[in-house]
Amino acid sequence: MGTSLIIEQISKNRIFSLRKKIIMGCRCRNWRTLFGGAMTNLLLAVIYLAFISLGLPDGLLGSAWPTMSGDLHAPLSRAGGISMTISAGTIISALLSDRLTLRFGAGRVTAFSVALTAAALMGFSFAPNYWVLIVCAIPYGLGAGGVDAALNNYVAIHYTSRHMSWLHCMWGLGALIGPYMMSYAMASRHGWQWGYRSVGVIQLVLTAVLIFSLPLWKRRPAAADAGTQATDRKPIGLLGVLRISGATQILIMFFCYCAIEQTAMLWASSYMVGMDGMAEDVAATFTSIFLIGITVGRFANGFLTMRFSDPAMIRIGTMTIGLGALLLLVPVHNPALSAVAFILVGLGCAPVYPCIIHSTPTYFGADKSQAIVGVQMAFAYVGTMLMPPLFGVIAQATTIAVLPWCLLVFVAFMAAMHEWLRALRRDDMAV
């Protein structure tokens, strides 16, 4: 009898112990899940902040240059030299992004690139002459290209398409805030130097945040292709990227998109003044609305991507751009109609850029995406640097009325490249 009681008690103790272990294990897993989710969201917030900071300096030069050129005794046209130096730096760092990210990781590359940008902006704020601005433009461009390529690929691999759209919405938010910061600094008599200095301080603070967040980058919020973590993978390089089936098509898509966006942004005001007789100050307002249309559109696209795939969003965007360009061809020149047309072009641009980037790992694999995204960024900057001034030459030789035809040619070419890419990669993709 005593033996039976002892055996029964031992059994109860074992059951209780096993039950306790199961409960504690579940609790630990739940805590790990909750902790991991919180860390993922915290890292995403840091990435969003980095993209706001990427947009902040973009509008500073244009808004401050009329005053800067006088203070530094530089001709008004010399802003182009600064802009081209920045673009050249971004192209170089974008092409090197695969090699750098493979060696140092996306987190370190981003932190160092933001630090470079911060140093460049502080240099701008203390520049005594034009040539110091040119020197400071080199690290500015290198830093901007590094952030752009590293973060775009990281988000494309580890987060959903809606986060990519919202990421680029954050860039638009930064691009809208930057000129207001500069105008406030100049209106309060602190001068353009304090405009650059204020943004530089923000970048320095973000650099510190990125350095402290480096452990978060080791946590993978989504299951990524094992190829991205392979220590034996070698950099692919520009020629290696061009040999990949479909890569040429997606690079041409990027070139065409940036040609559309930047040409419309630069020449929309001139078109409405020349073709519609709109007052210059009113036309300038509608040009800013074009940028607002892209920013608001990308915020809305974050929700639309929950329902539509990346290819569907790219098609919707290209059709909307085409519709806007066709409205500009209506024989009756009406300022309101032209304004609506350019807003449509902006809304159409909104989904194309982020959705092309987000679909890149799906088309080519995560092991190749960093190299391809880096070259995409380079092609984007080439399109941004070359096409707006080239259109200016064409418009001067002919008429500004060719703008909608230019937009239609590029959007048709971009749509054709997209369908060709899908045909080439259909067997390897799951979109």
What local confidence, expressed as pLDDT, does residue 406 receive?
93
Q: How far apart are CA 380 and CA 378, in angstroms?
A: 5
Tell me the pLDDT tens digit for each residue of 204-242.
999 999 999 888 887 554 444 434 444 456 777 788 888
The arithmetic mean of pLDDT across residues 76-100, rounded, is 84
Would you state the structure tokens that stand for residue 355, as one six-digit string?
């959705």
- 303: nearest Cα among 183, 411, 161, 429: 161
What local confidence, expressed as pLDDT, does residue 275 receive?
80
* HSE, side-chain direction, 13 A CA sphere, residue 278: 23
**pLDDT confidence tier of residue 381, bands split at 50, 70 and 90:** confident
Ranges of beta strands (E only) in 277-430 are none
What local confidence, expressed as pLDDT, does residue 313 receive?
93
What local confidence, expressed as pLDDT, does residue 410 receive?
95
The 10 Å Cβ neighbour count of residue 130 is 17
Contact residues for 268 (Cβ-Cβ < 8 A; gap 6+): 283, 286, 287, 290, 342
What local confidence, expressed as pLDDT, does residue 431 receive?
45
**Mean pLDDT, the chain, whole residue set:** 81
What local confidence, expressed as pLDDT, does residue 217 receive?
82
The arithmetic mean of pLDDT across residues 349-378, rounded, is 88
Domain boundaries, the chain: 9-37, 72-217+235-425
Q: How far apart are CA 255 and CA 193, in angstroms?
A: 34
The arithmetic mean of pLDDT across residues 57-76, rounded, is 82
**pLDDT confidence tier of residue 159, bands split at 50, 70 and 90:** confident
Region for 277 from its dihedrals, namely left if φ exceeds 0, alpha if ψ lies in -120 to 50, beta otherwise: left
The pTM assigned to this predicted structure is 0.76
**pLDDT confidence tier of residue 104, bands split at 50, 70 and 90:** confident
Residue 136 has pLDDT above 90, yes or no: yes
Residue 246 has pLDDT above 70, yes or no: yes
The arithmetic mean of pLDDT across residues 165-176, rounded, is 84
Contact residues for 181 (Cβ-Cβ < 8 A; gap 6+): 56, 60, 195, 198, 199
Would you state the structure tokens that stand for residue 219, as one six-digit string?
């946590």
Residue 323 has pLDDT above 90, yes or no: yes
Place of tokens 């400071």: 136
What local confidence, expressed as pLDDT, does residue 2 receive?
52
Residue 82 has pLDDT above 90, yes or no: no
Question: 72-217+235-425 has which fold?
Answer: Growth Hormone; Chain: A; (1.20.1250)
The arithmetic mean of pLDDT across residues 349-359, rounded, is 90
Residue 14 has pLDDT above 60, yes or no: no
- Sign of the alpha-carbon torsion through 229, 230, 232, 234: negative
Tell me the pLDDT tens digit for each residue of 27-50.
444 444 444 556 667 888 888 888
Residue 130 has pLDDT above 60, yes or no: yes
Question: What is the Cα Rg of the chain in Å?
Answer: 25
What local confidence, expressed as pLDDT, does residue 325 receive?
93
**pLDDT confidence tier of residue 331, bands split at 50, 70 and 90:** confident
**pLDDT confidence tier of residue 156, bands split at 50, 70 and 90:** confident
What local confidence, expressed as pLDDT, does residue 316 receive?
94
